[in-house]
Amino acid sequence: MTIEHAPLPYPLDGLAPHISERTMSFHYGRHHAGYVASVNGTIAGTPHADAALEEIVIAADVPSALFNCAAQAWNHAFYWESMSPDRVDTPAGELLAALERSFGSLDAFNADFAASAVANFASGWTWLVSGADGLQIVNTDDADTPLRHGQRALLTIDVWEHAYYLDYQNARAAYVDAFIEHLINWEFASTNFALAR
């Protein structure tokens, strides 16, 4: 099975002005495409050749080149879906209620998510996940992903510098604020939450 570099759910300029077409052309068109190509090259002729990407991420040795490329391919595909140019300000009822139970309010979640993403020292990701302890915000380093930790990812923000440097330089906090205020795809998060129940 060839791992697909799936089309974006919006045009390359669809997230502008918050994330520019230039950033997307490098990030999606080169970084993400490179991870997908590396996975396909690595699995050819191996027992993973017919596996789905998620299965490869879970089965790959850590650390390994296969895990790094497969997890980054999966993380990036999830990240694109975590954003939408058609921003809905609040999540649907069940997810909103769960956020209020776990964080006190949507505003408190937004503040906690922003603080976690800005403080994530390594290159990595900040996630909203559903697990045994309810909803949580978790940071992962490098290619690590909630798939490896028994958690259902609901949404994510990429905090590797290549995700924002062309638009925000070293102002990660401004990028994170733009993501929270303008880009979160709450419909996608709600769908993932329903699958986690």
- Domain 93-196 is of which CATH architecture? 3-Layer(bab) Sandwich (3.55)
pLDDT tens string 16-65: 999 999 999 999 999 999 999 999 999 999 999 999 999 999 999 999 99
What does pTM read for this prediction? Answer: 0.97
Pick from 87, 93, 1, 4: nearest CA to 50: 1
pLDDT for residue 177:
98
Which CATH number does 21-81 carry? 1.10.287.990
Structural domain spans, the chain: 21-81, 93-196
Contact, 137 vs 127, CB < 8 A? Answer: yes
Residue 83 is classified by DSSP as: B
- Residue 45: which residues within 8 A CB-CB, separation 6 or more? none
Is 1 a residue whose pLDDT tops 80?
no
The yes-or-no answer to whether 21-81 and 93-196 have a common fold is no
pLDDT category, 196, cuts 50, 70, 90?
Answer: confident
